[in-house]
Amino acid sequence: MKVWDEMISCALVEGRTYLMEHESKELLERQGIATTGAAVACTAEEAVEISNRIGYPVVLKVLSPEVIHKSDAGGVKLNLKNAASVEQAYAEITHAFQDKNVTGVAVQRMASPGLELIVGVSRDPTFGSVLMFGLGGVFVEVLKDVSFRVLPVTDADIEEMIMEIQGYPLLRGYRGTAVDLGALKDMLRRISEMVTRYPEIREIDLNPVFLYEEGYIAVDARIFLERPEKSELDVISGEHSTGGKSSLRTLFYPESLAVIGASDKPGKLGWNVFNNLLQHRFAGRLYPVNVNSKTVQGVRAYSSISEIDDPVDAAVIIVPAALTLEVFEDCCRKGIKFMIIESAGFAETGEEGENIERDLKKLAAAYGCRFVGPNCSGIINPHHRMIQSIGTIGELRPGNIGLIAQAGVYVAGMIWGMRHTMDFALVATIGNKADINETDMLEYLGEDDNIEVVCMYLEDVKAGRRFIDTASEVTAKKPVIVLKSGRTEAGKKAVSSHTASLAGNDLIYDAAFRQSGIIRAADNEHMFGLARAFSKQPLPSGEGAMVISYSGSWGVAAADALSMSGMRLSDIDDATLGRLGAILPPYVGINNPVDCTFEMNALQLKAIIEAGVECSDTSSFIAVIQAELLHTYAEVLPEIDFRGKPIICCVPCKEFAMDNVITLEQTGFPVYSTPEEAVAALSAMHRYASAISCRITG
């Protein structure tokens, strides 16, 4: 567009990185975005002439590359009703800014008051351009009540970002007032299109926009310019990664695996890794490589990778950082396609380590191989009996949870305990992710049919746009639960010193996760609590839940939690009420929550559920059961036919009945300590199920 190019070059010639109000408004108008317009006057006469033309009342504003906040310095004169007041305002403005470089005075229509909004665009190093929307004035200044979405946005994104702000009820209307939400959505869509079309736009500030019963008008506008570097765009889209589109399947299911640095000395990490592979009877051929030993843990060892005659699919490297380049190149020459570098001492420690990482990447690109890490804890695949963890782990049952974790020790230290209540299909640690990153892993976990639920522990994301696109595809097939740390400034510092990565702005991450359909976990407990429910129980088909409890108060707590998380107690039909009456003691009222009193027992629960599955409004169950009787429930629950309706167990004081909790969990019943936690899991499943059906039908 000619005007656009002219404006940019004009701004650049003047050394400006932003467009002034009249220029910004002109561009917006050309995109079909309504503004009060602005014509430039360089004399009082011109100001009057323009005012006569556009009609009174008018507004005069100072136009100066040196003035950002015009009204602070007396540069905005509102509601000028005639030529005399325009002349006076003109004189006042020029006087107030006589020391500044003033381009002129903007003359524009005076807009009638409406609901004040702020609409903006800014650029994030990870995700690229992001759109912001909120209510203006104190809502934005004090309450910071705004929402974000990564651009470009879909209509659904726009809808969600509007509904997400705290002040949404003001938009929806109260006491007969209403605003034009259709016009608002149209404006946001046009802004998105504009920024996508003109990547030179670094930031936009429309503050305020007045929203009316019909239409809206932008009264102040400022656009900041900066052409993004190609390298910046590549980072966001993920073009910079060395890898191609080839599947990572061989990495996760290698037929042969070398362990370079496998050790015969207990206590060394190279001992742990090899011992894990041996103990779990790795489902392929194993080749320990060690320069000093003829055998490692009883297995014939090789002094170098080149000594192995057979083809090797993948190699774990666990030698000092300074030796990795040499070892890595040996692997490349041998034709190994996947390397897992578990050694530490790379980018997380400083420049020297960073240089080694860079050289590793060059080698990988030259030989067409890919690598995980460095500074990770390898891959765990119980379906392939492949445990590369640096922490020794007991028996692992193959399951359906996929876990991607940035930090190696996090996984190594946690799986030992988690395996009692969670069954993993794959655990992939990514460490410094010099090559294979979280999105590559996520893409693969999306394809692997053993995996039904994905959990991710992230400290940052490498290529934001590619992450959103990939995650959107995966979440359409299976739930993805993400715990992202580094939310606070303090957390961020800890992150950079830990894995040499910088955490991005948390609000943008939040927006990106929402846009991708990701379920964001508040903490570790929450993530694994959700994973247990999603991995063990079917999704509920509706919002009605039957709560069965041994105590009225637990039942009430569950009912409250349900209604606060978009679910509700199911309506029990008369036939079901009749059946429940025959099961329950005569002295209790028959209702939902079903209060069995402290006489509650396993057979009774079975009978209630068998009645409940017949009730059409009941799509799920929450059972609050006694910790001291847990073993009896563990025997009976597996015998019940739930007809595809999920059940979530709540066992207050469950931490003192862990043996039975583990039995229940292993037979497929997730157990939580409180009704609130149980509902948090169930409602997340309900939301996911609804979002999926919306995506399918909408």
* Contacts with ligand ADP, residue ranges (CB under 6 A): 36, 59, 61, 69-72, 76, 78, 108-111, 208, 219-220
Least distance from C-beta 183 to Mg ion, angstroms? 20
**One character per residue 4-43, x = contact with Mg ion (rule: CB under 5 A):** ----------------------------------------
Query: CB under 5 to 8 A by kind: which of Mg ion, ligand ADP, none does 626 bind?
Result: none
Residue of closest CB approach to Mg ion:
220
Interface stretch with Mg ion, choices 213-221, 341-349, 361-369, 569-577 (CB under 5 A): 213-221
**Distance between CA 633 and CA 257 in Å, rounded?**
44
C-alpha of 448 from chain center: 21
Calculate ∠ Cα 316-320-323, nearest 5°.
85
Contact 624, 652 (CB under 8 A): yes
Find how far residue 255's CA is from the centre of its chain.
Answer: 34
Nearest distance, CB of residue 60 and ligand ADP, angstroms: 9
Longest CA–CA separation in the chain, Å: 100
Minimal distance, residue 88 CB to Mg ion, in Å: 23
The residue (of 63 and 150) whose beta carbon lies closer to ligand ADP is 63
State in angstroms the smallest separation of the CB of 106 from ligand ADP.
Answer: 9
3-state SS record for 139-184 = HHHCCCCEEEEECCCCHHHHHHHHHHCCCHHHHHCCCCCCCCHHHH
Our CB check for ligand ADP shows the closer of 77 and 123 to be 77
With CB cut-offs between 5 and 8 Å by kind, which of Mg ion, ligand ADP, none does residue 36 bind? ligand ADP
Q: Give me the count of residues in the chain.
A: 698
What is the b/e burial string over 212-250, where b = at least 16 CB atoms within 10 angstroms of the residue's CB? beebbbbbbbbbbbeebeeeeeebbebeebbbeeeebee
| 38 vs 559, beta carbon nearer ligand ADP | 38
The one of ligand ADP, Mg ion, none whose footprint includes residue 78, by CB under 5 to 8 A per kind, is: ligand ADP
Residue type, 40: V
Q: Which is nearer to ligand ADP, 79 or 303 (CB)?
A: 79
Q: Which is nearer to ligand ADP, 137 or 345 (CB)?
A: 137
Partner from Mg ion, ligand ADP, none contacting 108, C-beta within 5 to 8 A by type: ligand ADP
Minimal distance, residue 27 CB to Mg ion, in Å: 17
**Strand partners of residue 393:** none
Contact 648, 537 (CB under 8 A): yes
CB of 70 to ligand ADP, least distance (A): 3
Angle at 112 between CA 110 and CA 117, to 5 degrees: 105
Residue 620 within binding range of Mg ion, rule CB under 5 A: no
Q: Which does 162 bind (CB under 5 to 8 A by kind): Mg ion, ligand ADP, none?
A: none
When the beta carbons of 136 and 540 are compared against ligand ADP, the nearer one is: 136
Find which of Mg ion, ligand ADP, none residue 622 binds, CB within 5 to 8 Å per kind.
Answer: none
Span from 122-130, 202-210, 620-628, 681-689 in contact with Mg ion (CB under 5 A): 202-210
Region binding Mg ion by CB under 5 A among candidate stretches 203-211, 373-381, 531-539, 620-628: 203-211
The answer to whether 405 and 427 are in contact (CB under 8 A) is yes
Least distance CB 133 / ligand ADP (angstroms)? 17
Binding segment for Mg ion (CB under 5 A), chosen from 144-152, 201-209, 391-399, 544-552, is: 201-209
Q: Which residue number, 54 or 283, has a Cβ lying nearer to ligand ADP?
A: 54
Nearest-angstrom CA–CA distance, 192 and 154: 9
Shortest reach from residue 89's CB to Mg ion, in Å = 18
The answer to whether 24 and 222 are in contact (CB under 8 A) is yes
CB of 74 to ligand ADP, least distance (A): 10
CB of 221 to ligand ADP, least distance (A): 8
Q: Which does 54 bind (CB under 5 to 8 A by kind): ligand ADP, Mg ion, none?
A: none
3-state secondary structure (DSSP) of residue 66: coil
Q: What are phi and psi of 115, to 5 degrees?
A: -75, 125
CB of 377 to ligand ADP, least distance (A): 52
In angstroms, give the least distance from the CB of 78 to ligand ADP: 6
Residue type, 672: Y
Strand partners, 117: 135, 209
Q: 187, 119 in Cβ contact below 8 A? A: yes
Beta partners for residue 80, in sequence order: 58
Cα–Cα distance measured from residue 126 to residue 149, given in angstroms and rounded to the nearest whole number: 13
Find which of ligand ADP, Mg ion, none residue 73 binds, CB within 5 to 8 Å per kind: none
Whichever of 75 and 238 has its CB closer to ligand ADP, that residue is 75
Identify the residue among 108, 147, 192, 207 touching Mg ion (CB under 5 A).
207
Q: Which of 439, 438, 450, 436 is nearest to 478 (CA)?
A: 450
Of 103 and 660, nearer to Mg ion (C-beta) is 103
The least distance separating ligand ADP from the CB of residue 220, rounded to whole angstroms, comes to: 3
The one of ligand ADP, Mg ion, none whose footprint includes residue 110, by CB under 5 to 8 A per kind, is: ligand ADP
CA distances from 204 to 77, 321, 351, 363, 503 (A): 23, 46, 37, 42, 24
DSSP 3-state of 343: coil
Peptide bond just before 670 cis, omega within 30 deg: no
Q: Which is nearer to Mg ion, 220 or 443 (CB)?
A: 220
220 is an interface residue for Mg ion by CB under 5 A: yes
CB 386 within 8 A of CB 379: yes
Q: Which is nearer to ligand ADP, 205 or 665 (CB)?
A: 205
Q: Six-digit token pair at 110?
A: 């005076």
How far lies 488's CA from each of 492, 494, 524, 602, in Å? 6, 10, 16, 46
245 binds, among ligand ADP, Mg ion, none (CB under 5 to 8 A by kind): none
Residue 96, token pair as written in the block: 């107030």
CB distance 262 to 289 below 8 Å: yes
Q: How far is the CB of 136 from ligand ADP (least distance, A)?
A: 7
- Our CB check for ligand ADP shows the closer of 70 and 337 to be 70
- Which of the listed partners (Mg ion, ligand ADP, none) does 318 bind, with a CB threshold of 5 to 8 Å by partner kind? none
Q: Nearest Cα to 363, choosing from 337, 384, 345?
A: 337
If the CB atoms of residues 67 and 511 are measured against Mg ion, the closer one turns out to be 67
> What is d(CA 69, CA 253) in angstroms, rounded to the nearest whole number?
60
CA distances (Å), origin 519, targets 512, 515, 558, 578, 585: 11, 10, 21, 39, 41
Residues 362-391 that bind Mg ion (CB under 5 A): none
Choice between 206 and 685, CB closer to ligand ADP: 206
Least Å distance, CB 72 to ligand ADP, is 6
Q: Which residues bind Mg ion (CB under 5 A)?
A: 207, 220
